[in-house]
A and B are shown apart, each in its own frame.
Chain A
Amino acid sequence: MSAWSELILILVILTNLLLVGGNRLTGLIRFAAVQGLLAGLLPLLVHSHAITARLIFLAALAVALKGVAFPLLLGRALREADIRREVEPFVGSELSTFLGISLLAFSFWLSEWLGIAQAGWLRLMLPVGFFTMMTGLFLIISRHKALTQVLGYLVMENGIFLLGVALVGEVPFIVELGVLLDAFVAVFVMGIAIHHINREFNHMDVHLMARLKE
């Protein structure tokens, strides 16, 4: 089983690097969907010795939301806005990839520093969680389009999901449920906001929204 989990974690790292380096929005949404799918499946592998109905329900919900619902929502917003390419990001593709790899290194250092010695491949889970979270944060900060920022938020949520499994293993059910639903509502709300922004401004370039300042 652990070989499978390791494979999934490495795939998550790969999706992160693709997300950081990519500049086609449709592609980015697909990577995020794959990542959500992988993240949603992980709890099943972690607790493979004791699969309960609760665990299956949560994993199914996570996969349905992160792997299917969110990408669909974002895809619809994208069609509505009629844009295909993330033009001129603040940070270029090559530099982004380089920064992504630096973030990965930093995540490993941070996990070492925290010093939670865990058996076997769980060691890998914590840094991958941090890395995914930081990838999301990086996307939010360094990209122009409101849609890419939502995508960044989504990736961040994936990272937090992984961190939750790595750090606590079993967060109380109601909290886990609340977190998943919160993420769902957040993305939904952001989608509505994008819809309004698009209608009012005829674009969703966040850096062009700069009327409110000192």
Chain B
Amino acid sequence: MNGLPQPGLAALVLLPLAGCGLCWVLRAPKRILAVTWLASLLSALAAAPAVWACLHGRALQEAQGWLALDALSAFHLAVMYGVFILSSAYAQIYFDGGISSGELSLAQVRQFASLWLGSLAALTLTLVSNNLGMMWVGMEATTLLTAFLIIVRRSPDALEAMWKYLLICSVGIAFAFIGTLLVAASAKGLVQDPGQLLHWSRLMAAASGLNPKLLKAGFLFVLVGYGTKAGLAPMHSWLPDAHSQAPAPVSAVFSGCMLNAGLYCILRYGALCHALPQLADWSAGLLRLLGLLSISVAAVFILFQNDGKRLLAYSSVEHLGIIALGMGLGTPGIFAALFHTLNHALGKSVGFFCMGRLGQIYGTNDLRRLAGAARREPVWGNGLLLSLLAILGAAPFAVFLSEFLVLKAAVEAHRAVVVAVFLAGTCIIFISASRRVIAAAWGEPAAPARLPGPRAGLAATLLVALPLALLLCLGVWMPGPFRGALERCAAVLNGGR
């Protein structure tokens, strides 16, 4: 084997970049947007065989172990591609008006498309890296690329949100790198080849020999650093601003992929801690703590939230909290948390799709002024209502099931405080958010819409209906192979046990 990466996992990173190049050749804005969708779809198809094999228990490694795919990364990869395909399709609808009216220039569309595909490449790199340093490079690249996605339409508010995002996340990422260095130092002498010092699989194999003190310090830094990217409280302060100011397709990708990728990085380090008996309980406890904190903070801010996009953003803080909480509750919790990752990504994407379109039509994100939206805009209005009910955990959507499984794991572990805070938080959020969104969908109209806008077509209906239908299916019936795949992901985190 030589040093050059062979086609395969590396190609998954390069494919979106090729699409990126194509965007700079084309001259028609709508075609450029179509390229983003096609490139996402093609990347997903190219990845499908490898993802499928890994979800069935195989593990791939290439380029001297720099790139690798196992069940856990394959699962996250699949969720990411799903969200990207849906969001790129939605971007065609979302930007259609702006392109037709000339509000969006060719340069702006090009900028959006190339940053979009660049983010896809960077996120892919994060997920297929076996090397923790490489993973960090991918995550940092994601931060820098997505920052400009927030200001596709330039306004003072968007700039403010972008600056906060850029600075807070850069500092977070810097912390994550210090964590990476500390973990590397903890493995000194264990890995013979210095070039493979940060390979996760190598570290996992030698985990029992890691220096516990350095690993502990490293995990703390990583948790704060990547936790910032994952939007876990109290490092979440950038999140509501960035989510509310970014164009809706970007918000969907933020919530559905980027936050998950941040948490995914933490999980890799969590697995290292888990392999050391003296650190296993400590690291799980920290994950539970941050999870509960995120749920509580989200509950407080959702209580008085009338801005639809900010409400969805705080709901992301809540759900990432639930996922982190599940990750700290042993194998059944990890299983539930992974299931929840998929459910949240699907539901939240649809939520942002509907909210973004309604925001365009009504010229505001204030839920009170959207009253009666479901009568005026049946697809988007009802979509918003249903997707919010789904992510709030209404039965029989799959989110209900995964939240129930997290709760069950907490009860079985005899964690009374966790159960109490979890129930209180989710109940507060359910009541305050559903009240507002029901009024928005079916209340008495308060203000006239800003622009009539074209009726939502078949594509829009499918974009809203398909993910919701999938959530409904998974909520009622979990296919055996899917359960098996999730169990294999959880096993990766337990060191294959």
List chain A positions with a Cβ less than 8 A from chain B: 114-116, 133, 137, 140, 146, 149, 153, 156-157, 160, 163-164, 167-168, 170-175, 178-179, 182, 185-186, 189-190, 193, 196-197, 200-201, 206, 209-212, 214
Least CB distance from A69 to B in Å reads 16
The listed residue (A157, A178, A186, A212) touching B144 by CB distance below 8 A is A186
Least CB distance from B316 to A in Å reads 16
Contact with A along B147-160 (1 / 0, CB 8 A): 11001001111011
- Evaluate contact between A172 and B198: CB separation under 8 angstroms: yes
State which of B40-48, B165-173, B348-356 sits at the interface with chain A.
B165-173
Least CB distance from A33 to B in Å reads 19
- Evaluate contact between A186 and B170: CB separation under 8 angstroms: yes
Q: How far, in whole Å, are A186 and B136 apart by their CA atoms in the complex?
A: 14
With A196-B159, A214-B301 known as contacts, the answer to whether A163 contacts B181 (CB < 8 A) is: yes
Q: List 21 A-B contacts (CB under 8 A).
A: A133-B174, A149-B167, A153-B170, A153-B171, A157-B174, A160-B177, A168-B181, A168-B197, A171-B184, A172-B133, A172-B197, A179-B133, A182-B137, A189-B147, A196-B151, A200-B159, A201-B156, A209-B163, A212-B157, A212-B161, A212-B164
- Evaluate contact between A172 and B160: CB separation under 8 angstroms: no
B194 located at the interface, meaning its Cβ lies under 8 Å from any Cβ of chain A in the complex = yes
B248 located at the interface, meaning its Cβ lies under 8 Å from any Cβ of chain A in the complex = no
Interfacial chain A residues near B155, Cβ < 8 Å: 200
- Evaluate contact between A153 and B167: CB separation under 8 angstroms: yes
- Evaluate contact between B185 and A171: CB separation under 8 angstroms: no
Task: Report whether over half of chain A's contact residues are helix, strand or loop; otherwise say mixed.
Answer: helix
The count of residues in chain B whose C-beta lies closer than 8 Å to any C-beta of chain A is: 48
CB interface residues, B 119-167, toward A, < 8 Å: 131, 133-134, 136-137, 140-141, 144, 147-148, 151, 154-157, 159-164, 166-167
B261 located at the interface, meaning its Cβ lies under 8 Å from any Cβ of chain A in the complex = no
Beyond A133-B174, A201-B156, A211-B157, 12 additional pairs, beta carbon < 8 A: A160-B177, A160-B181, A172-B196, A175-B134, A178-B134, A193-B163, A196-B154, A197-B163, A200-B154, A210-B160, A211-B160, A214-B301
- Evaluate contact between B166 and A193: CB separation under 8 angstroms: yes
The listed residue (A157, A178, A209) touching B133 by CB distance below 8 A is A178
With A178-B133, A201-B156 known as contacts, the answer to whether A164 contacts B171 (CB < 8 A) is: no
- Evaluate contact between B185 and A178: CB separation under 8 angstroms: no
- Evaluate contact between B181 and A212: CB separation under 8 angstroms: no
With A115-B213, A175-B137 known as contacts, the answer to whether A167 contacts B177 (CB < 8 A) is: no
Contact with A along B77-111 (1 / 0, CB 8 A): 00000000000000000000000000000000000
Interfacial chain B residues near A116, Cβ < 8 Å: 185, 214
Least CB distance from A160 to B in Å reads 6
Q: How far, in whole Å, are A214 and B182 apart by their CA atoms in the complex?
A: 37
Interfacial chain A residues near B194, Cβ < 8 Å: 170, 172
Contact with A along B172-194 (1 / 0, CB 8 A): 00100110011011001000001
With A116-B214, A197-B159 known as contacts, the answer to whether A140 contacts B178 (CB < 8 A) is: no
Closest partner residue, chain A, to B184 (CB atom): A168
B472 located at the interface, meaning its Cβ lies under 8 Å from any Cβ of chain A in the complex = no
B244 located at the interface, meaning its Cβ lies under 8 Å from any Cβ of chain A in the complex = yes
CB interface residues, B 218-258, toward A, < 8 Å: 240-241, 244-245
B394 located at the interface, meaning its Cβ lies under 8 Å from any Cβ of chain A in the complex = no
Interfacial chain B residues near A214, Cβ < 8 Å: 301, 304-305
With A178-B137, A185-B144 known as contacts, the answer to whether A172 contacts B244 (CB < 8 A) is: no
With A140-B167, A185-B144 known as contacts, the answer to whether A171 contacts B133 (CB < 8 A) is: yes
Interfacial chain A residues near B240, Cβ < 8 Å: 212
Q: How far, in whole Å, are A137 and B174 apart by their CA atoms in the complex?
A: 10
Interfacial chain B residues near A212, Cβ < 8 Å: 157, 160-161, 164, 240-241, 244-245
The listed residue (A157, A167, A190, A209) touching B160 by CB distance below 8 A is A209
Interfacial chain B residues near A114, Cβ < 8 Å: 213-214, 217
Closest partner residue, chain A, to B151 (CB atom): A196
Interfacial chain B residues near A174, Cβ < 8 Å: 133-134
Contact with A along B303-343 (1 / 0, CB 8 A): 01100000000000000000000000000000000000000
Interfacial chain A residues near B134, Cβ < 8 Å: 174-175, 178
- Evaluate contact between A190 and B166: CB separation under 8 angstroms: yes
B195 located at the interface, meaning its Cβ lies under 8 Å from any Cβ of chain A in the complex = yes
Interfacial chain B residues near A146, Cβ < 8 Å: 163
Q: How far, in whole Å, are A164 and B182 apart by their CA atoms in the complex?
A: 9
The listed residue (A172, A189, A206, A209) touching B131 by CB distance below 8 A is A172
Closest partner residue, chain B, to A210 (CB atom): B160
Least CB distance from B143 to A in Å reads 8
The listed residue (B131, B167, B182) touching A167 by CB distance below 8 A is B182
Interfacial chain B residues near A197, Cβ < 8 Å: 159, 163
Interfacial chain A residues near B244, Cβ < 8 Å: 212
- Evaluate contact between B195 and A172: CB separation under 8 angstroms: yes
The listed residue (A156, A173, A175, A189) touching B166 by CB distance below 8 A is A189
Interfacial chain B residues near A140, Cβ < 8 Å: 167, 171
Interfacial chain B residues near A171, Cβ < 8 Å: 133, 181, 184, 197-198
Least CB distance from A209 to B in Å reads 4
Q: How far, in whole Å, are A197 and B163 apart by their CA atoms in the complex?
A: 9
- Evaluate contact between B185 and A168: CB separation under 8 angstroms: yes
The listed residue (B144, B164, B213, B245) touching A189 by CB distance below 8 A is B144
Closest partner residue, chain A, to B217 (CB atom): A114
Q: How far, in whole Å, are A83 and B479 apart by their CA atoms in the complex?
A: 63
